[in-house]
Structure 1
Amino acid sequence: MGPVSTRQPNAGLGQLFRESGWTMRQFAQAVNRLGTEIGSPLKYQQASVHQWLSGHLPREAVRPLILEALARRLNRPVTREEAGFPAVSESSEQSTTVEQLIDLGRQDMDPSRRKILAAGMYLAALSVPAFSALAGVASAADRDRLTRPSGRIGSGEVETVRRMTDKIAEILDELGGGHARPMAAAFLVNTVAGYLHADASEKVHRDMLSAASDLTYLTGWMAMYERAHGLGQTYYLRALDLARESSDQLTYSRTLRGMSLQASHLRHGQKALEYADSAAEAAPQASPRLTAFLRGQQAHASAMVGDRRGAMQRLKEAESALSQADSRRDAVGGYDQAAFLFHLSHVHYETRDIENSIKALRRSIRVMSPLERQGRLHAHAVLAQRQHEIGHLEESCTSWERFLDDYEALSTARGDEHFDKLRALNAPRQSPVARRLQDRIHAVAKLKAA
């Protein structure tokens, strides 16, 4: 008779498994999907899950995937302790927000590290506290730890960061995130970090934290658009930290709205609504334009979870707020008539009114600034896919042609994603418009591969 195993079943993981309602095979498949999502395909089967439940520890690299799979299934964060996994060893001193930002930006600047960073996992069950729960948390001791003598800065340096952020936003619109994000990361590390460590008055230091938060938010936005969703989420979290430390409710709110947009893109509707509502709560005294910005995202997220009445009410509030906004539109996180119509299109689409969704998208493109090439590229691709969905094939081909006009000149992973979908479509060759599009696809593919 062989030796009796002394390994104890993992009670914590077993409880989570029962809550999930999965079979062992479904559990394994969920973990495998996350491996594919971060670029590390896995081939676990039900026997592996049986081993985990029996007390065998999965590989360290796989444990976060197991926790995230369960978190997405249960729609709440799942900790290592809860799952019966040992804690990760941590340094006795927690790094400051600025140190974390420097480390993140430095890795993002390094081409050899960028691919690894981009493969980071998006955490769908991440909880973010409301701003009111954090206000005033940054104590004098926190600020002393952040501020170290490295020259003295004033309002001029704050203005430099804000102007550079606006310029990077312009480059994003005109040339794409593939060119703009490395510039943002380099500026964060080489310039902004030094300003954050410099001696400054209390007001200037807070203003610099706020300006740095804006730039970090924009960098996260670009990472999201480049399909590096885990990286984008990490930048967003650093932007929230900086906004909290500067007591900047508006940037905190805008960042949460960006996180809602990211969640909606990844089809996490309930999380998108949670972030959108938190964003609105964080900025009760927002300007009319920002109010419209927030209500529009709440409308989209509400439609995603089946609340059509709530979505239409939020759209009315967004339209009303936008009508009261002044003529100035911020370069970072701005909101205008084109953005409102894009939200209207999303709400119609989520409620399966595809015809009106297409009409709203067309109107959005018509009023879009000629400088917003990135936004126009995305809008034409979405329009083409929705036209194809309801059988308007020649109109879809025409929209794809307009997408290609911008795609040829932009460096954008979001554009690459749309182009991959375009190449996978089967358009009828008997149509002259479809034949012309196919010829154009081959030409653009060669251009991008060169």
Structure 2
Amino acid sequence: MPRTPNTRLTLLMEAGGWGPAQFAAALRGAAAEQGLTLTVHLTTVRRWLEGSQPRPPLPGLILECLSRRLDRCVTAHEAGLTRAPGPLVDPAWEADPMRKLFHLTHAELDPHRRALIGAGVLTATALALPAQDRIPARSVDSARAGRRATASDVEQLRAMASVFAASADQHGGQRMRAALAAYLAHEVTPLLHAPAPDPVHHALLAATARLALLLGSMCADSGHHAPAQHYHQIAARLAADAGDPTTLAIALRTMATHAHDLGQHTPAVLNLAEQADQHARNAPPAVRAYTHIHLAVLSAHHDRHATVAALARAECLHTEADVEPGPFSRYPAGALHYQRAQVLATLKDHTGALSALTTSLRLRTETERLPAALTRARLAETHLRLGHLEPALTHWHALIDIYPTLHSARADQRLTTAVQYLRPHRRHTGVTDLLDRITEVTSPPR
């Protein structure tokens, strides 16, 4: 049967000043940000304009590109994607966070639904906070039923957060993601609906927000950026409901970090970092250093003077921080120097970035196996950018030594990037050996 031309998509592309070739290039760029490789060309776009329907994850990418270009949210209906599946989870800030958490965690335990949610993409329009930068508060459910929740339940949630965080630092987020989702679905969510004194209920909300943050980071480490964004947003909402500005600051900072790592340096992302810093103003020095250093990372794309001031303030705050146990009460020195390197690299001070990364690696503890591996990857890339081939090879070999113990899409991506960096030097014997090792550790078993 003849297809009906998609005039809605044509009009949106024209409004954005895009022809088919330019739109295809924008889609490939947006896909690359999120670790996806797409075969989309001029002829592909022309087929859509003629009426064929793209398959996931393309509908999400199409809407994301058009929304960025037109600086507003473009819906599937508006773009003529009539047979594209709608979002399985409402991305709006106003959506009930507990309902979203219920649906997402149960979807994590269903392979088919997990694949559908994982096929989504990070949405730049959802990074913008509501009007006046206020996180909407959920109305309190007074009809809670079941066994009474107690302070010991809160302590259990906090203890489990430490367990899951330690595992993710050691091995990456892919393996523990389903376990944390199951824990949230079957143990934590019922507690949020249990009768409890208000202080206990608020503490449960805050502890759940931190577990949701960890699950979001595990999803991001698995290369599934849409559910990661949902979990981070849920965490911010739950922290706001709990009246916990410190956890809210950590959640907003995590959202900004996730977007930055995917190449988003827009004013909306900078605003997330600024709001995180504002909410952390009465937090312990470790949390204030944590939010302030990322404010420096994002400011480096906008204002050099503000960047230098934010960096100095973060370093000063870190010297005031007490060394406390727990993933949400301490900020490791190795992480601070890693982000300092990000700031310096953005400011084109690659020698300074190399020094900061070297310090970061030296300060990594045995429990920070994944962060240390990612630091080595950045060290290798920075060395090669400065023309230091031999030290770069040393760090990449060290990364490969530890790689089999990691289950992380970020580690996978760093090895893919290593191959791209090394191709111009492939006639060098040491490079050939390294490329052979990369092929060996990344090839699927026969």
Q: TM-score band, normalised by the shorter chain?
A: 0.7 to 0.9
Rg: which structure is higher? 1
Superposed counterparts of 1:278-317, under 5 Å: 278-305=275-302, 307-317=303-313
Aligned residue type for 1:191? E
Instruction: Give the equivalent residue in structure 2 for 1:126.
Output: 126
C-alpha contact 2:35 2:223 (8 A) present in aligned 1: no
C-alpha contact 2:255 2:272 (8 A) present in aligned 1: yes
List per-residue Cα deviations over 1:180-231 (Å, max 9, x = no partner): 2121111111111111121212111111111100000111011112221112
Question: What's the CA shift for 1:148?
Answer: 3.2
Q: More deviation in 161-170 or 351-360? A: 351-360
Superposed counterparts of 1:37-48, under 5 Å: 41=38, 43=40, 45=42
Question: What's the CA shift for 1:372?
Answer: 0.2
Residue 322 (structure 1) aligned with residue 318 (structure 2): yes
Residue 265 (structure 1) aligned with residue 261 (structure 2): yes
Instruction: Give the equivalent residue in structure 2 for 1:23.
Output: 19
Mapped to 2, the partners of 1:24 and 1:121 lie a distance apart of 21
Mapped to 2, the partners of 1:387 and 1:337 lie a distance apart of 22
| 2:126 aligned counterpart, secondary structure | coil
Equivalent residue in structure 1 for 2:445, among 434, 446, 449: 449
Residue 205 (structure 1) aligned with residue 164 (structure 2): no
Q: CA, structure 1 residues 175+84, in 2 after alignment: closer, same or farther (shift >3 Å)? A: closer
Instruction: Give the equivalent residue in structure 1 for 2:178.
Output: 182
Instruction: Give the equivalent residue in structure 1 for 2:374.
Output: 378
Question: What's the CA shift for 1:99?
Answer: 2.6
Q: CA, structure 1 residues 43+428, in 2 after alignment: closer, same or farther (shift >3 Å)? A: closer
Superposed counterparts of 1:68-83, under 5 Å: 68-79=64-75
Mapped to 2, the partners of 1:443 and 1:50 lie a distance apart of 39
Identity %: 28
Aligned residue type for 2:105? G
Superposed counterparts of 1:58-73, under 5 Å: 64-73=60-69
Equivalent residue in structure 1 for 2:434, among 412, 419, 437: 437
Superposed counterparts of 1:134-145, under 5 Å: 134=134, 137-140=137-140, 143-144=141-142
Instruction: Give the equivalent residue in structure 2 for 1:196.
Output: 192
Superposed counterparts of 1:334-349, under 5 Å: 334-349=330-345
Aligned residue type for 1:156? S
Instruction: Give the equivalent residue in structure 2 for 1:152.
Output: 148
Q: Give TM-score, length-normalised by structure 1.
A: 0.84
| 1:370 aligned counterpart, secondary structure | coil
- Aligned pair count? 433
Question: What's the CA shift for 1:435?
Answer: 5.2
| 2:366 aligned counterpart, secondary structure | coil
List per-residue Cα deviations over 1:410-440 (Å, max 9, x = no partner): 2212111112233442344544x44553454
Mapped to 2, the partners of 1:7 and 1:345 lie a distance apart of 50
Mapped to 2, the partners of 1:272 and 1:90 lie a distance apart of 22
Mapped to 1, the partners of 2:86 and 2:406 lie a distance apart of 43
Q: CA, structure 1 residues 132+9, in 2 after alignment: closer, same or farther (shift >3 Å)? A: closer
| 2:125 aligned counterpart, secondary structure | coil
Mapped to 2, the partners of 1:423 and 1:9 lie a distance apart of 42
C-alpha contact 1:76 1:126 (8 A) present in aligned 2: no
Mapped to 1, the partners of 2:435 and 2:38 lie a distance apart of 32
Gaps of 5+ in 1: 1-5
Aligned residue type for 1:417? Q
Q: CA, structure 1 residues 23+438, in 2 after alignment: closer, same or farther (shift >3 Å)? A: closer
Mapped to 2, the partners of 1:245 and 1:132 lie a distance apart of 17
C-alpha contact 1:135 1:247 (8 A) present in aligned 2: no
Mapped to 1, the partners of 2:5 and 2:117 lie a distance apart of 36
C-alpha contact 1:227 1:414 (8 A) present in aligned 2: yes
Mapped to 2, the partners of 1:370 and 1:343 lie a distance apart of 19
Instruction: Give the equivalent residue in structure 1 for 2:354.
Output: 358
Mapped to 1, the partners of 2:373 and 2:241 lie a distance apart of 36
Question: What's the CA shift for 1:51?
Answer: 8.0
Mapped to 2, the partners of 1:7 and 1:176 lie a distance apart of 45
Residue 402 (structure 1) aligned with residue 430 (structure 2): no
Mapped to 1, the partners of 2:393 and 2:86 lie a distance apart of 54
Q: More deviation in 380-389 or 36-45? A: 36-45
Gaps of 5+ in 2: none
How large is the RMSD of aligned CA atoms in angstroms? Answer: 3.4
Q: More deviation in 177-186 or 165-174? A: 177-186
| 2:300 aligned counterpart, secondary structure | helix
Question: What's the CA shift for 1:118?
Answer: 2.3
Question: What's the CA shift for 1:70?
Answer: 1.6
Aligned residue type for 2:272? Y
Residue 220 (structure 1) aligned with residue 216 (structure 2): yes
Q: Give TM-score, length-normalised by structure 2.
A: 0.85
Equivalent residue in structure 1 for 2:387, among 377, 391, 394: 391
C-alpha contact 2:137 2:237 (8 A) present in aligned 1: no
Question: What's the CA shift for 1:328?
Answer: 1.3
Instruction: Give the equivalent residue in structure 2 for 1:166.
Output: 162
C-alpha contact 2:146 2:194 (8 A) present in aligned 1: yes
Q: CA, structure 1 residues 329+352, in 2 after alignment: closer, same or farther (shift >3 Å)? A: farther
Q: CA, structure 1 residues 38+327, in 2 after alignment: closer, same or farther (shift >3 Å)? A: closer
